[in-house]
Amino acid sequence: MYYLKTEQSFDSAHFLKGYEGKCANLHGHRWRVVAMIRGEALKEDPQTGGMLMDFGDLKGALKAICDHLDHCLIYEAGSLKAATLAAFEEEHFRMVEVPFRPTAEHLAAYIFGRMQEKCPSVCRVEVYETPNNCAVYEA
């Protein structure tokens, strides 16, 4: 079995509505994301022969996802009052609404799903909320 990994990062804010602790407050992270693909056979065509996948394509797929989440507020649908949303929009803050509580675990599954669209052989996504705390989603 062959494996390839690539890594990207992004900076964003989030909060956990209903959480009893400091993560209920709006705060930010430098999220580190590692994606891995796997396969038993290497390509045989002239361009990508001997490769599982072109690293550039793998890197580009993860970068596009991370760029979408970079420098924004990631928030759960329904977690902000309409007046708060309106105020953020009036200030032209970039926000990404997601249908889940934006925990590291949910973000790992979300990024995994988005990676699958371009890299069906994705087998693992790691999301580091801090250098020492990581959530993993595997196929």
Q: Which two tokens stand for residue 36?
A: 């891995």
Residue type, 48: T
Q: What is the DSSP letter of 136?
A: E
- How distant, in Å, are the alpha carbons of 25, 85, 104, 125 from that of 36? 32, 36, 17, 6
Catalytic residues, by residue number, are 23, 71, 129
Q: Distance between CA 52 and CA 122 in Å, rounded? A: 12
The span from the CA of 113 to the CA of 125, in Å, is 10
Neighbours of 118 (CB within 10 A): 14
